[in-house]
């Protein structure tokens, strides 16, 4: 069974939409859900969602990372080895191999910084890249970085191209994927 960590404190109206969506995923897709966040806020929503018997658990993480966290505050909350915010705890669960994926609707910058500090990076890759699939007339394409790094060096673009190509081949099953460059202005 696929195990997914869900940051229950990530969305604007946390934790209700995060918890309700996680329960729906457990019910409809048969995945195991590990919710991270303030258990005192999560549990009442679980109780009212008829989640009993579903593979949903809560890992208490009382601290918050918010959309307003920036700069040094963000780095400290992401980096501190004993951080108890829902993102740091979720990434730690993932790193220990106790889950297969981590999902957050939280601050994108916080998610990237926390992932870098908690999970590390692939050797030879200087910067991480967001890689959402975009629907096209013939299926999907992957757009790496999507403007998260507006000051890229040529070697960053090369690394993004390699990562996207490997992802397209190994995960999406695309033989000989095309790599292109879109400028953000």
- Condensed to tens digits (0 to 9), the pLDDT of residues 102-125 reads 999 998 888 888 998 899 989 999
Q: Which of 121, 131, 119 is nearest to 88 (CA)?
A: 119
Q: How confident is the model at residue 22 (pLDDT cuts 50, 70, 90)?
A: very high
Domain check: are 107 and 139 in the same one? Answer: no
* Spatial contact of 55 and 81, defined as CB atoms under 8 Å apart: no
Domain end point (choices 119, 142, 171): 119
Q: Is the pLDDT of residue 184 over 70?
A: no
Rounded CA-CA distance 36/49 in Å is: 17
Number of separate domains in the chain: 2
* Spatial contact of 65 and 114, defined as CB atoms under 8 Å apart: yes
**By percentage, how much of the chain surpasses pLDDT 90?**
63
Domain check: are 27 and 100 in the same one? Answer: yes
Domain check: are 93 and 130 in the same one? Answer: no
Q: How confident is the model at residue 142 (pLDDT cuts 50, 70, 90)?
A: confident
Domain check: are 95 and 143 in the same one? Answer: no
Q: Which of 85, 80, 39 is nearest to 60 (CA)?
A: 39
The H or E element spanning position 118 is: helix 108-119
Domain check: are 181 and 163 in the same one? Answer: yes
Which CATH number do you get for residue 90? 3.40.718.10
For residue 109, report the phi and psi dihedrals to the nearest 5 degrees.
-60, -40
Provide the domain limits for residue 161: 124-185
Domain check: are 50 and 85 in the same one? Answer: yes
What pLDDT does residue 93 have? 98
Domain end point (choices 119, 149, 172): 119
Domain check: are 107 and 179 in the same one? Answer: no
**What does the angle CA 69 – CA 70 – CA 73 come to, to the nearest 5 degrees?**
75
Domain check: are 38 and 103 in the same one? Answer: yes
């Amino acid at each position: 069974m696929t195990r997914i960590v869900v940051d229950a404190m990530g969305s604007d109206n946390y934790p209700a939409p995060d918890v309700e969506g996680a329960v729906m995923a457990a019910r409809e897709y048969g995945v195991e859900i590990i919710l991270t966040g303030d258990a005192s806020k999560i549990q009442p929503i679980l109780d009212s969602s008829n989640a009993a018997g579903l593979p949903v658990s809560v890992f208490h993480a009382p601290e918050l990372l918010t959309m307003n966290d920036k700069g040094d505050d963000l780095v400290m909350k992401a980096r501190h080895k004993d951080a108890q915010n829902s993102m740091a705890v979720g990434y730690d669960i993932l790193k220990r191999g106790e889950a297969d994926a981590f999902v957050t609707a939280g601050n994108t910058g916080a998610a990237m910084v926390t992932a870098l500090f908690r999970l590390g990076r692939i050797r030879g890759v200087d910067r991480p890249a967001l890689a959402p699939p975009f629907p096209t007339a013939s299926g999907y394409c992957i757009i790496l970085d999507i403007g998260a790094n507006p000051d890229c060096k040529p070697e960053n673009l090369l690394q993004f191209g390699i990562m996207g190509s490997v992802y397209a081949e190994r995960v999406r099953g695309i033989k000989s994927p095309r790599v292109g460059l879109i400028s953000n202005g």
